[in-house]
Amino acid sequence: MTPTIHGTCDARFAPLRDTFVRNFSTFGETGAALSITIDNKPVVDLWAGHADAARTKEWRADTIVNVYSTTKGMAAICAHRLADQGRLDFDAPVTKYWPEFAQAGKSDLPVRYLLSHQAGLPAVKRAMEPHAMYEPLKMATALAAQEPWWQPGTKHGYHAVTYGWLVGEVVRRITGKTLGTFFRDEVAQPLGVDFHIGLPVEHEPRVAPLILPPPPTAEQADLFAEILKDPESMLAKAFINPPVPLDAVNSREWRAAEIPAANGHTNARALARVYGVLASGGALNGTRLLSQAAIDGALIQQADGPDAVLPLHTRFGLGFMLSTPKEKMGPNPRTFGHGGMGGSMAFADPDARLGFGYVMNEMHSGLWLIDPRPVALIEALYASLA
């Protein structure tokens, strides 16, 4: 059944709108939203479907949803904003801002390794109780105390959740604010975007609960078996320490916490606006988010190749995903952004001066960095621009 499509779409992007509609039948979307800006002007702002698995609540213009690792891009922006202000040096040792981080031979580890997944800290070694997931200071303290899993800088491996605690603690040490509060004050409110890292209770009625993915394929089952066979392994601890079940994502406890790598709640419009600003020189209506120099620095490749945690080729700039040969955020080489588990995706394309945001509530599982749904949208988008 074709859903009712709401919102606006410039005529030149009609094929993109058609692809958005087809995703509901082709990929089993329940509810989703797509937004595109060019030169900081919205050219596509669409939403459709339902905000719940029972399909009793319509997805609305103000519906928000958990976007998992798409949140990491916002954490990176916070760090770049501090660098722009002269308060953070990416080449300085982390210990300049966080002295306790010197434990276990980490005294010389530079800040940039935290943002480029090269720090060797993708998992906490000490077994943590489930509630620690919601206590960023407890997790940061555990990471500061431990020895890296590999020599920092010699390789990279995806810091799926620890990324947020590491970057967040540096932000807190410099500003006295949690990353969620700093993001609200310095990014979300000045730009007028509906993005929350630590969701206030008054926004609960607008949240579309995530619909958990179907049972894994044989390939995915093999990976999960590998993760679980040795609970003391780096791979296991990266994903199940603290041991929080996947359905916790829909709890008030998860939404209220600040997990800067994984629990941002937002919509496509906010993502496109933020990344559109980064793609268009760093300012919107007189409000400067980042300097052009900071943006240029963010997209310089820091790490590229086989990932030490994920069974994938990954490529990172300073806090952002970069396109890989197999998985591209469009055809232009300077594109940067971040995707999230289950399917959400956002990026900036400075060459096209374009911001892209896509969110959904129907989670898909798969061994990819960019879900097939945004892949189809990205292909249709650039075909419309050609």
Give residue-wise pLDDT tens across range 299-343: 999 999 999 999 889 999 999 999 998 889 999 999 999 999 999
32: enclosing H helix or E strand: strand 31-38
Residue 236 confidence (pLDDT) above 90: no
pTM (predicted TM-score)? 0.96
Compute the mean pLDDT over every residue in the chain, rounded to the nearest whole number.
96
Q: How many whole angstroms separate alpha carbon 199 and alpha carbon 265?
A: 7
Residue 353 confidence (pLDDT) above 80: yes
Evaluate whether the domain defined by 5-68+192-385 bears CATH number 3.40.710.10.
yes
Closest CA to 118 of 319, 292, 268: 319
Residue 239 confidence (pLDDT) above 90: no
Write the CB contacts of 267 (distance below 8 Å, at least 6 apart in sequence). 33, 35, 47, 62, 63, 64, 65, 194, 357, 359
Which residues are catalytic, by number?
Answer: 69
Q: How many whole angstroms separate alpha carbon 320 and alpha carbon 75?
A: 10
- Tell me whether residue 16 is exposed, middle or buried, using C-beta atoms within 10 angstroms of its C-beta: 0 to 12, 13 to 18, 19 or more: buried
Query: How would residue 227 be classed by pLDDT, with cut points 50, 70 and 90?
Result: low
Where are the domains positioned within the chain? 5-68+192-385, 75-181
- Whole-number pLDDT of residue 203: 99
